[in-house]
């Protein structure tokens, strides 16, 4: 098993938290502030590094310092989707140098084995998460795609550590869990306590539904960071996600 999974499972147990917060801000300081506020409540902080309009190489160093101090891991939601050679350049280089600081990254499985090989070549200490489903309304992911993604993961289990799944199609999420077994992680975005739509096609479901359909980790963005008290709101999601286990 990839050591990063063992690390995550330890954090989840210690902090009684299966909550990942998505810090979708365009200013580095806003991401760092949120990390300080919710850091004690979360097991993972998810970034979109390419939406920052003031990125400098100091940002990942500062985020890493908070992550180590507050005991959470970092997931860069890059959704790689190219041939092996190109993704190896995107993962290792550019200005973001994701491979140097991300504990988890994700990729589309549609590309096939080469994407896994290209990313592994750069850094196999990060854990790779494959998109078995997405949460956007009307997406083209179906059961066959999801289960073939599980097969791809199983034949690369030194590096692929889990899946993105959606509790909007809970019957498929449950099949992903059954096919993958318990060693792989399933992370589920599209989580909100009030499940109204965002007007841009995101589908929202409750922490309970996600965990009961087979997810290990719930990913919450606007439900937490748009609240006037993100720390208190994160605690609500942490408690709901934790209580929903078994
Ligand atoms: P929200 O504010 O809780 O809707 O944010 C969800 C986050 O999860 C956001 O960063 C998305 O890019 C991310 N996401 C998602 O919503 N759905 C998916 O299928 C995947 C990622 Br993969």
Cβ atoms of 221 and 77 closer than 8 Å: no
Catalytic residue among 7, 70, 79, 154: 79
Longest distance between any two alpha carbons in the chain, whole Å: 45
Q: CB-based burial of residue 118 (10 Å sphere; 0-12 exposed, 13-18 middle, 19+ buried)?
A: buried
Q: Does ligand 1 come within 6 angstroms of the Cβ of 74?
A: no
Cβ-Cβ contacts under 8 Å for 231 (sequence gap 6 or more):
37, 38, 40, 41
DSSP label of 89: H
Q: Please state the pTM of the whole predicted model.
A: 0.98
Q: Is the pLDDT of residue 124 over 90?
A: no
Domain ranges of the chain: 3-243
C-alpha span between 133 and 210 (Å, rounded): 13
Q: Does domain 3-243 have CATH number 3.20.20.70?
A: yes
Q: Does ligand 1 come within 6 angstroms of the Cβ of 157?
A: no
Q: Which atom of ligand 1 is nearest to the CA of 134?
A: 19
Buried b or exposed e, range 170-202, using 16+ CB within 10 angstroms: bebbebbbebbeeebbbbbbbbbbeeeeeeeeb
Tens of pLDDT, residues 12-60: 999 999 999 999 999 999 999 999 999 999 999 999 999 999 999 999 9
Within 10 A of 145 (CB to CB), how many other CB atoms are there?
16
Within 10 A of 234 (CB to CB), how many other CB atoms are there?
25
Q: Which atom of ligand 1 is nearest to the CA of 164?
A: 22
Residue 14: predicted pLDDT: 98
Tens of pLDDT, residues 138-160: 999 999 999 999 999 999 999 99
Tens of pLDDT, residues 214-243: 999 999 999 999 999 999 999 999 999 999
Active site residue 79: yes
Sign of CA dihedral 237, 191, 10, 212: positive
Residues of the chain above pLDDT 90, percent = 97
Tokens at 128, concatenated? 């790779």
Nearest to 215 by CA among 183, 143, 167: 167
């Amino acid at each position: 098993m990839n050591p990063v999974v063992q690390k995550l499972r330890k954090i989840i147990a210690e902090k009684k938290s299966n909550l990942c917060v998505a810090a979708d801000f365009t200013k580095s300081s806003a991401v760092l502030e949120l990390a300080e506020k919710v850091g004690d409540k979360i097991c993972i902080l998810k970034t979109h590094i390419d939406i920052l309009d003031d990125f400098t190489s100091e940002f990942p160093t500062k985020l890493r310092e908070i992550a180590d101090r507050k005991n959470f891991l970092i997931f860069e939601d890059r959704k790689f989707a190219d041939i092996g050679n190109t993704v190896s350049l995107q993962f290792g280089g550019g200005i973001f140098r994701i491979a140097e600081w991300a504990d988890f990254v994700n990729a589309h499985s549609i590309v096939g084995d080469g994407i896994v090989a290209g990313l592994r070549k750069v850094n196999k200490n990060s854990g790779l998460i494959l998109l078995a489903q997405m949460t956007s309304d009307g997406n083209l992911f179906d059961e066959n795609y999801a289960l073939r993604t599980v097969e791809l993961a199983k034949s690369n289990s030194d590096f692929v550590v889990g899946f993105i799944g959606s509790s909007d199609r809970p019957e498929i999420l449950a099949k992903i869990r059954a096919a993958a077994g318990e060693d792989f992680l399933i992370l589920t975005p599209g989580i909100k306590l009030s499940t109204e739509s965002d007007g841009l096609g995101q589908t929202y479901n409750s922490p309970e539904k996600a965990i009961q359909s087979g997810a290990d980790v719930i990913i919450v963005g606007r439900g937490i960071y748009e609240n006037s008290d993100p720390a208190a709101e994160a605690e609500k999601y942490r408690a709901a996600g934790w209580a929903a286990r078994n």
